A and B are shown apart, each in its own frame.
Chain A
Amino acid sequence: MRMRTIEISVGGFVLAGVIGLVFLAVQVSGVGELGERTSYTIQARFDDVAGLRERARVSMAGVTVGRVRGIDVDMQWGDAIVTLEIMGEPGNLTIDTGAKILTDGVVGARYVGLLPGSDEETLGPGDEIVETQGALVLENLIGEFLTNIGK
């Protein structure tokens, strides 16, 4: 076979491979989804974040508005500090915005739901959400249920 045919075939093969890689990076793993747009981070304290993971969705009214960037524990108070990356310019969330940890479907992943507030003041970068509700842990619920039955 002529060398040129081989070279063209190999070129096409390498190109197909690179296209495959780009497809997997962009379409499958969703790189660049949050990339270029501006964003800022705020924090929220929860008494329990059971099952929440980094990169989980942050949504308001069911629309994704950001991602969970970090989860740390505050040993002194025994609660969890969750760092949320919110898309857009600072000032699009009011200071009395609430945060809840919710579950997507029955076996779905945990995500953070934001409840809009009504205050004039807004949350700036690094501010903390005060109104929070942690994850519902099934074992705790059952425990409470049993204690209440006993009464």
Chain B
Amino acid sequence: MSDLLRSIGVRFLDFLSALGRASLLWYRAMAGLPRWGDVALVVKQIYNVGFMSLIIIVLSAFSIGAVLSLQFYTQLARFGAQDATGVGLALVLLRELGPVVTALLFAGRAGSALTAEIGLMKTTEQLSIMEMMGVDPLRRIIAPRIWAGLISLPLLTAIFSMVAVYGGVVVAVNWLGADPGGFWSGMQDGVELWEDLGKGMVKSLVFALLVTWVAVFQGYDAPPTAEGMSMATTQTVVISSVLVLATDFLLTLVFYGDF
């Protein structure tokens, strides 16, 4: 019994110290405004985490939009309400699936790469060498990656939702023969700028913060061994996915819970 308690206590303290180290990392990397000289570094990282994620985002978005549209249309057609396909598709995408699925894909595609990159830099002591040269690795390596994540994920989310709506249109209108007028006007009647698009983008920004933070911290904190690196990469994907899903529930409760 006391062993159990002790192990729970040790786990909890480990968790607290990791949280503390992560917060310190965040604070030391992001304290102070970014300097102009850092812009080129951020652009390079946006290329790595944003531009390079485009293909997987576009492909997934199109198939998710198509599948949603197919399900909505066939089920709603049983009640003669197939005109609601457009609004259902748009609301589900803007409020939930757009931000969440993009963040999950981003964690798998870009987050794991970030962790591996930073972890390898640490393992091969590139970070220590930077410190010896008088360059702050937190500002030079960590901060541009966090900024790039914060900029890229909302943009990827917008692209995701646009492509998914297009995929939905292709299936519902061009293939199943839904009436395009009812489809678009139902969508425009039911979707509001701030309530749906704006709050979805706020979600996406929060997810960007979580995923990049977890990714850079896992990389920076990884034990400098091959095993430690593989653990850290796995942990990035697992922790950020769980965090994204849990936070999504909380945000939905705050944004849309009517009470």
Contact = CB atoms under 8 A, between A and B. Distances in A.
Interface of A: 3, 6-7, 9-10, 12-14, 16-21, 23-25, 27-31, 33, 55, 57, 105-109
B90 interface: yes
A150 to B, nearest CB: 33
Contacts of B197: 21, 24-25, 28-29
A6 B162 contact: no
Contacts of B163: 20
Contacts of B196: 29
B189 interface: yes
Contacts of A24: 94, 158, 161-162, 165, 197
Contact of B51 (A10, A23, A25, A27): A10
A106 B155 CA distance: 38
Contacts of B46: 10, 13-14
B81 A3 contact: no
Nearest to B184: A27
B69 to A, nearest CB: 14
Contact of B81 (A12, A13, A33, A106): A106
B28 interface: no
Q: Pick the most buried of A17, A19, A23, A31: most chain B CB atoms within 10 A of its CB.
A: A17
Interface of B: 40, 43-44, 46-47, 50-51, 54, 79-81, 83-84, 90, 94, 151-152, 154-156, 158-163, 165, 184, 187-193, 196-197, 201
A109 B84 CA distance: 10
Given A25-B197, A108-B81, A20 B162 contact: yes
Contacts of B190: 109
Given A17-B155, A28-B187, A57-B189, A106 B162 contact: no
Secondary structure at the A interface, as helix, strand, loop or mixed, is: helix
Contact of B154 (A3, A6, A17, A30): A17
Contacts of B160: 20
Given A13-B46, A19-B162, A28-B161, 6 more contacts: A3-B40, A10-B47, A13-B50, A13-B152, A29-B94, A29-B193
B81 A28 contact: no
A16 B79 CA distance: 38
Given A13-B46, A105-B81, A20 B187 contact: no
A30 B191 contact: yes
Contacts of A107: 79, 81, 84
Contact of A25 (B54, B154, B165, B193): B193
Contacts of A18: 155, 158
Nearest to A111: B189
Contacts of A25: 193, 197
Given A13-B46, A13-B50, A30 B188 contact: yes
Contacts of A55: 189, 192
Contacts of A20: 155, 158-163
